Structure 1
């Protein structure tokens, strides 16, 4: 596997990217991957390695304000900013001579699972989409939370916006245990993120700008699902307490050419262990059908 640093610019800031190439073959199909909520691209390496071993090129990138990318303040999750980064990443990968940009697959998980649906609906020339455990409705995710938590998150978001005017942003934990004031507090959140941290070769901070609480309810990729015309694999988890498998199934039903698969996993299990292997097998079978090597 060949590893090449390959950054690009999004709205005047450098986004860090890594191009992974298989040992054999010229101009292979390329899978463009970005992590979900408040993650970094290193967390996707277990998936990426298996794709490269199967003969595909992979391009991983960090959003602005995350990982090795530029951007201040740090830890700024905004799905609408993320979509700008995706637009720029797709243009960048299309320009790379080492890969076949006409056989491009967009791969997203959790929050970025919704992003790749939005990208496909925008009409980018791509071959296929893989959306794993995707957030298809921010409104549905918030509606599932207890009212008191929603209120506390909203107040924290307003505090962050007010503090940003004087250079004092306010942060929340990304994950917490049930009952904590954190963005993700499902039963699997704390232990699942610990598993992901073990993958990362370097520090990861459990913090995110609280203003994200004001943006997520407005982000609903399911509304774009009817615009997706390319073959799409949607994978959901029957035990996922973070995003709704039912909403993911509904979104897949609106797409022109979608396959919906339900695994017995929670939100984090697809990244490691037996569920990682099951997840990769499902995705490789889809890729073999849709993107010829």
Structure 2
């Protein structure tokens, strides 16, 4: 799809301007389903252009944006990772879509990869405008993760996710590095050569202001919006999990991801692939093709029932 088939967009979220792209499928009339997408832990929206392009070619509109503090979006501190503000960013992206022509407001899917897979699970529970959730290489925890049997924490999250005044709860900054490059300071989040190769490849493909330095913003709350064990069992909309059986990220441990998937009570599909945590970044590979086909089929099937 040529570049002119998307338009640059921006919308306001919690006092910051978030920026991205709105892709529209060519040659369509009437309202079309839409996929809301944002990038994973420390990467950039532009790195997902292949996915957005391919989804648009399959007949979906796509709103792809940079999380607050990253890429083209505003916000401070730069490269500050905040789960709650990212959840609110998806909320406000959907608000923006309500102002756009040609979008079927009854057919909104949210898509997230890696850390953002957790964000889309939360917004899939919190926001009843969401009709489908797609989670690539989800972050569900590891063998030490204990899944809650009580709903007490989640009830607090539901009550406070949208309206809690964050100015009353200042965030502490934890400096980390995304991968083992010499840039930045702090512990490395994702060890191994696959992460370095992925970042090196994407920086060449999409020159940008990507940073290996990330600041995890931590607030002292009664419950946390980054607890992977919490949202899945509360999902009520059709959900697709794409799990890498050889995922290198400790928080994406295979048996825990499977347990997380099994906890979903809504209609659900599971696709297990090989290629590691970053395998889906490489267009034209078998994991990419397999996952693209499954994602399109899942979304078409889900929306055909609406």
TM-score when scaled to structure 1?
Answer: 0.82
Counterpart of 1:254 (choices 263, 279, 292) is: 263
CA deviations on 1:154-183 (whole Å, 9 max, x unpaired) are xxxxxxxxxx99xxx774321117xx9322
> Do residues 283 (structure 1) and 290 (structure 2) align?
no
| Residue 266 (structure 2) pairs with residue 263 (structure 1) | no
Tell whether the 8 Å contact from 1:37 to 1:111 is kept in structure 2 after alignment: yes
Provide the rounded CA distance (Å) in 2 between the counterparts of 1:74 and 1:22: 33
Distance in 1 between residues matched to 2:225 and 2:278, nearest whole Å: 24
Q: Do the aligned partners of residues 196 and 91 (structure 1) sit closer, same or farther apart at CA in structure 2, a change above 3 Å counting?
A: same
Q: Aligned residue for 1:231?
A: 238
Contact (CA 8 Å) 1:187, 1:241: kept in 2 or not?
no
**1:185 aligned residue (153, 171, 191):** 191
1:9 Cα shift?
0.7
Q: Contact 2:84–2:225 (CA<8 Å) still a contact in 1? A: no
Is the Cα–Cα contact under 8 Å of residues 137 and 219 in structure 1 kept in the other structure?
no
- Indicate the structure with greater helix content: 1
| 1:165-244 alignment runs, 5 A limit | 171-176=175-180, 181-209=187-215, 211=217, 219-242=226-249, 243-244=252-253
- Aligned-pair RMSD on alpha carbons? 2.7
Equivalent pairs, count: 265
Which 5+ residue runs of structure 2 have no aligned equivalent?
146-170
Aligned partner of 1:157 in structure 2 is: none
* Segments of 4+ moved more than 4 angstroms: 138-141, 210-215
